[in-house]
A = this chain, B = another copy of it.
Amino acid sequence: MLVVMKETASEAEIQAVVTKLETVPSLHGQRIDGQDLVVVAAVGDTAAVEGLGLEQLGGVDRVVAISKPYKLASSEIGQQKPLHIAGRQVGGGTFTIIAGPCTVESRQQTLETAAAVKAGGADMLRGGAYKPRTSPFAFRGLGEEGLQILQEARQQTGLPIVTELVDIKNVDLVSEFADVIQIGARNMQNYALLEVAGKSGIPVLLKRGLSSTLNELLQAADYILKEGNENVMLCERGIRTFDTAMRFTLDLGSVPWLKSQTHLPVIVDPSHAAGERRYVTPLSRAAAAVGADGIIVEVHQDPSQAVCDAAQQLYAADFADFAQQIRAVAEIIQPSSPQSIS
């Protein structure tokens, strides 16, 4: 922590800050006399600084945090390391394609789509049994029936299942059926849900909130990691900005940034940002090119009949071609981390 004094701060005010810091045994105040102003560095157990109310002392302009706020998700603790989920590797040079319908609507729709994405080379199957909806009057998923359909799809295709958990009271049920629990963007800071997902021991795909900073995303991951659940994938799915040309602004720059800060794999969801099918392919190619460890993409055997997100779901019939295009890009990216690129 650095306490930046105002240019007009008096000597007594500067001294008061140093004295205040010295009241805490684990802290030490180091003074830096600049040309225009003075900065006092709080050295030691900087967590203790927060309770001191330094911003309120006379002559103090602001207090600047220097250390990173996330702990367990930091690449300075671990190194980049792949996860192993239901026998499949995520990260570490592989490119994972998770595909399937937005929502489990029926047995037939799900099984047909699952078969198509399996045939097209997908690594996992996505599908929502519980859907968070902006309006309470919209369709909210088949619930347990949906989970059972997903289980049948797994039996038929061998694909691990990625499905969303929206309510802590369903955690046991969802854990029984899911290979990966998805935490949606709206729930990224629903800490009760994060802890329950952490405790479940099931791998977690954590989506970035639509106005969450990357720091906050890593701190949300800390909530899961601290429960001893190390299998966390981060997911960039578009942020909310002033521009409405697309549904959301896909922040592809987040991928190399995250890769430089955390050991966790980073997945990109191109479908929700695109909003329209024709933008999904170029955004997926870009996700592969920017260095993501995979994508999670919506596919439907007949999008024109889809209950939600109809416009952005790929046709199952086109999936194999799509997957081939994306893998072609992923394959020419060198496996070196962005850090090593000069």
Q: Which residues of A contact B (CB under 8 A)?
A: 2, 4, 6-8, 30, 32-37, 39, 41, 43-47, 50-53, 55-56, 64, 66-67, 69-71, 76, 132-137, 166-169, 186-187, 189-193, 195, 209-211, 213-216, 219, 222-223, 226, 239-246, 249-257, 260, 273-274, 276-279, 281-283, 285-291, 303-308, 310-311, 314-315, 318, 325, 328-329, 332-334, 338-339, 341-342
- Measured between beta carbons, the chain B residues less than 8 angstroms from A64 are 64, 66
Known contacts A51-B306, A246-B253; is-contact A166 B189 (Cβ 8 Å)? no
Rounded to whole angstroms, the CA-CA distance of A281 and B276 in the bound complex is 28
- Measured between beta carbons, the chain B residues less than 8 angstroms from A67 are 34, 36-37
Q: 17 more A-B contacts (CB under 8 A) besides A6-B76, A250-B251?
A: A2-B39, A4-B66, A34-B44, A35-B43, A53-B310, A64-B64, A211-B240, A211-B242, A241-B251, A243-B251, A246-B257, A253-B274, A256-B279, A277-B342, A282-B290, A283-B290, A285-B291
13 A-B contacts, Cβ less than 8 Å apart?
A7-B76, A8-B76, A51-B306, A64-B66, A166-B191, A239-B249, A243-B251, A246-B253, A253-B273, A257-B279, A282-B338, A285-B289, A315-B342
Are B282 and A289 interface neighbours, CB within 8 A? yes
A105 to chain B, nearest CB (A): 10
- Measured between beta carbons, the chain B residues less than 8 angstroms from A44 are 34-35
Count copies of this chain in the complex: 4
Are B136 and A219 interface neighbours, CB within 8 A? yes
Residue in A69, A76, A209, A278 with the greatest tally of chain B CB atoms within 10 Å: A278
Are A213 and B339 interface neighbours, CB within 8 A? no
Are A32 and B30 interface neighbours, CB within 8 A? yes
- Measured between beta carbons, the chain B residues less than 8 angstroms from A6 are 76
| Majority DSSP secondary structure for residues of A touching B | mixed
Rounded to whole angstroms, the CA-CA distance of A94 and B287 in the bound complex is 21
Closest partner residue, chain B, to A216 (CB atom): B134
Rounded to whole angstroms, the CA-CA distance of A250 and B34 in the bound complex is 34
